[in-house]
Amino acid sequence: MRTRKRTAIGIVGLAALWIVAAATPAFGVTESGLCSGIGAFSNGTIVSSEQPIDVVSIVPDGGSVDYSGTTGMPEPDGPVSFNGSVDVALPFGGITVVTWSGETETNSAASTYEYTVPSLVPRGSGALEVTARHVQQGQTCVATVQMAIEGSPGAAAAVGAVGTVIFGAGVIGAGFRKKGLA
């Protein structure tokens, strides 16, 4: 009986160690194309297309961001079309949070963008993998960074923790033998 309990506890401990190791974020820059861009948030956070992907930038849950970017290519001779988007990766697929398109005669842009983060997006949580994509003059530029919304997890995290404990007890309860079985 004691040997079985110790083995069960040992297996659960190994699984916990594996989970922690697998939670380590990837390292490396994800960028393609000649583009570069930078965004300065109201809390002083600077997000750059060249920062390593394992750096998590903490940004406010609303406000303005001063951005600038360049395609890295020569100025076009006339109006050229462009389009782009910002996507957030999910466990399955992703969602597009903003898109842009139009025509331009320049190879760079700088402006201020006002944004708000919906209340259902958790604050102070794990990193969101954000990918910006810009297409212009036959070139596709992609940059991926990790960002998190500043704040505290709130009641949702506490509910998650309580649920984990309750259902963990259920898993242990499943290990109790039925009556009548030796």
Partner 1 sequence: MKGRPILGLISGFMFGLFLGITLFLYGVVPLASSLLWILPLIGLVLGLAMAAWGPFGGGTAPSPEPAPPAPDAAEDSQPEA
With H, G, I as helix, E, B as strand and everything else as coil, classify residue 35.
coil
In angstroms, the CA 129 to CA 147 distance is 7
Interface with partner 1 includes 170 (CB under 8 A)? yes
Closer residue to partner 1 (CB): 62 or 160: 160
In angstroms, the CA 34 to CA 70 distance is 8
CB atoms inside a 10 Å sphere around CB 26: 11
Min separation Cβ 167 and partner 1, Å:
4
Interface with partner 1 includes 102 (CB under 8 A)? no
Q: Which 128-157 residues touch partner 1, going by CB under 8 A?
A: 128-129, 146, 148, 153, 156-157
Phi, psi of 155, deg, nearest 5: -65, -30
Min separation Cβ 123 and partner 1, Å:
9
Interface with partner 1 includes 17 (CB under 8 A)? no
Closer residue to partner 1 (CB): 52 or 168: 168
In angstroms, the CA 94 to CA 120 distance is 16
Interface with partner 1 includes 52 (CB under 8 A)? no
Closer residue to partner 1 (CB): 72 or 160: 160
Interface with partner 1 includes 161 (CB under 8 A)? yes
In angstroms, the CA 93 to CA 117 distance is 20
Interface with partner 1 includes 1 (CB under 8 A)? yes
In angstroms, the CA 55 to CA 39 distance is 15
DSSP letters of 45-108? Answer: -EEETTS-TTPEEEE-SEEEEEEEEE-SSPPPSS-EEEEEEEEEE-SSSEEEEEEEEEEESSSE
Instruction: Indicate which single residue of 34, 72, 75, 167 sits in contact with partner 1 (rule: CB under 8 A).
Output: 167
Stretch of residues binding partner 1 (CB under 8 A), selected from 39-47, 62-70, 78-86, 160-168: 160-168
With H, G, I as helix, E, B as strand and everything else as coil, classify residue 40.
strand
Site residues (vs partner 1, CB under 8 A) = 1, 4-5, 7-8, 12, 15, 19, 22-23, 25, 88-92, 94, 122, 124-129, 146, 148, 153, 156-157, 160-161, 163-164, 167-182
